[in-house]
Amino acid sequence: MSGPRPTSDPRTAPDTVSDVIRWAAFSCVLVPVVLVWYGTSLAGAAGAALGLAAVTAVCRVLLRRSERCAARCAEQRGGRHTRGQTPVD
């Protein structure tokens, strides 16, 4: 049987935003390399890299903003799902 959990074991949520951004940055490097490998011009590959980098930057800003807003809302309500009004699909 398991006893009560020790209070020194903090449960932190995984930083999924950082994981998403890491993979997006990886694709910003990988896609131009693959494009050049398959014969696309360097200018075309550079354009694709810049476009992907711009989309990645905007997504990062929006994800972090959403994270802050969710934390602020949870803080104001005293936690998640306090009233049991979770919508069901």
pLDDT in tens, 24-41: 889 989 999 999 999 999
Sign for the CA dihedral angle at 75, 79, 85, 88 comes to: positive
pLDDT in tens, 42-66: 999 999 999 999 999 999 999 889 8
Rounded CA-CA distance 55/73 in Å is: 27
- Among candidates 54, 74, 55, which has minimal Cα distance to 66? 74
